[in-house]
Amino acid sequence: MKIKALYIHIPFCRMICSYCDFYKMVAKPSLQTEYINHLIKELELKKPYLKDIQTIYIGGGTPTALPLHLLDFLFYYLHQNIDFTQVKEFTIEGNPNDITEELTELLVKWNVNRVSLGVQTLHKEKLKFLNRNHHEKEVRNAVALLKKAGIKNINADIIFGTPQDNWKLIRSDLTKIINMGVTHLSVYSLILEEKTILYYLFQKNQFQPMNPDTEALLYNKIKGFLKKYGFKQYETSNFALKGKESIHNLTYWNNESYAGIGSGASYYIDYIRYTNIKNLNSYFKGVSTDQLIFEEQIVITKEEQMMEEMMLGLRKTEGVSLRNFQDKFHCTIEEAFPKIKQLIREKKLFIKKNHIIIPESLQFVANSILMEFV
């Protein structure tokens, strides 16, 4: 299977958000330099897998927290190892207060054409609760600078479900952010993950998460509101203006192969799912001896591949193509999952235009429907 997508993990942040359980750390510049040197070495090791790359996604962490000279260095080596004439989408994640004129110039110089901003909200108290270190003015400034530099494909990540949230707050945030000119919105409900500051506060009884029914109500209002503004939902949490869907993320939801580099990066090649070790010293040791060390290396059996095809594909509003499934696995979806017929009878799934789909009204509880396959 062709590998068309490359994920690059930068595990550094300026500060730690209260809800975040991603692999990240606050690090000194010398460690960041050492990391980028090893990342480039891993990139060179992986070169044989990178000849068909069409999308690149630099995520984290906060890639824009890197000093500009390190980003420049990384971009230079990406161009040395990847045929950029084939690259359609090149995304970098960033925090609004990192976006400066110098950074946007650098991004344009190296063909970055999509920026995903960790906005979450514009509301002061909610920002404080999430331990985010930007303000509305900086989000406005970031989007304006990106557009001025010619980067018009801009995503904003939004979180809802905090104790501050209500429809008025979210509607105000969404209206302002849409008017700034973003083209894509990723809207996630707050998940209380263990080993986060919020989880600790929750255990100390210092806040209560939003009731799931209220959360579902808000989600439906968000969907309706975004639709009116021309943002088409194409995945459970993702909405885009026409033609601005993330090609890179669709690779994941279509259950296709992808490459990855960096400590903590996951990748899926030849039906094996790898996650690079989440420890910088071990990562450096593995890369320098050409013997990568993995956090996980799991062979995905045919049954698991079929399951993943459904779990990932049903997150898309267009659902899973019956024909693609049969071409890939040489059996029908009904043969692979006899329970499907019952779920269709119960109206938890339906078939339209040769695709199997979760009804719009059940998208918020999609996970529980997916669990019924297991």
CB 84 → ligand SF4: shortest distance, Å? 27
Q: Of 50 and 99, which CB lies nearer to ligand SF4 in the complex structure?
A: 99
CB 20 → ligand SF4: shortest distance, Å? 3
Q: Of 95 and 255, which CB lies nearer to ligand SF4 in the complex structure?
A: 95
CB 98 → ligand SF4: shortest distance, Å? 10
CB 315 → ligand SF4: shortest distance, Å? 21
β-strand 272-276 against 294-299: which pairing, if any?
antiparallel
**Tokens representing 72?**
């420049």
Sign of the CA dihedral with 278 first, then 279, 281, and 285 last: negative
Nearest in space to 151 (alpha carbons), one of 97, 109, 186 = 109
Tracing tokens 């609004």 back to the chain, one arrives at 96
CB 19 → ligand SF4: shortest distance, Å? 7
CB 330 → ligand SF4: shortest distance, Å? 40
Q: Of 24 and 114, which CB lies nearer to ligand SF4 in the complex structure?
A: 24
CB 102 → ligand SF4: shortest distance, Å? 20
CB 95 → ligand SF4: shortest distance, Å? 6
CB 165 → ligand SF4: shortest distance, Å? 17
Task: State how far the Cα of 177 lies from the Cα of 221, in Å rounded to an integer.
Answer: 16
Q: Of 136 and 309, which CB lies nearer to ligand SF4 in the complex structure?
A: 136
DSSP string, 131-155: T----HHHHHHHHHHHHHHT--EEE
Task: State how far the Cα of 232 lies from the Cα of 80, in Å rounded to an integer.
Answer: 36
**Tokens representing 296?**
């996980």
Interface contacts to ligand SF4, rule CB under 6 A: 13, 16-17, 20, 22, 24, 60-62, 95, 118
Q: Of 17 and 307, which CB lies nearer to ligand SF4 in the complex structure?
A: 17
* Residue pair 151/113 in contact by the 8 Å Cβ criterion: yes
Q: Of 61 and 262, which CB lies nearer to ligand SF4 in the complex structure?
A: 61
Long-range contacts of 303-311 (CB under 8 A, 24+ apart): 305/255, 305/271, 305/329, 306/336, 306/337, 307/373, 307/374, 308/255, 309/255, 310/337, 310/370, 310/373, 311/370, 311/373
Q: Of 16 and 241, which CB lies nearer to ligand SF4 in the complex structure?
A: 16
Q: What b/e readout covers 177-211, taking b as 16+ CB neighbours within 10 angstroms?
A: bbebebbbbbbebbeeeeebebeeeeeeeeeeebe
Q: Of 93 and 309, which CB lies nearer to ligand SF4 in the complex structure?
A: 93
Nearest in space to 298 (alpha carbons), one of 320, 272, 267 = 272
Nearest in space to 17 (alpha carbons), one of 131, 118, 151 = 131
Q: Of 66 and 306, which CB lies nearer to ligand SF4 in the complex structure?
A: 66
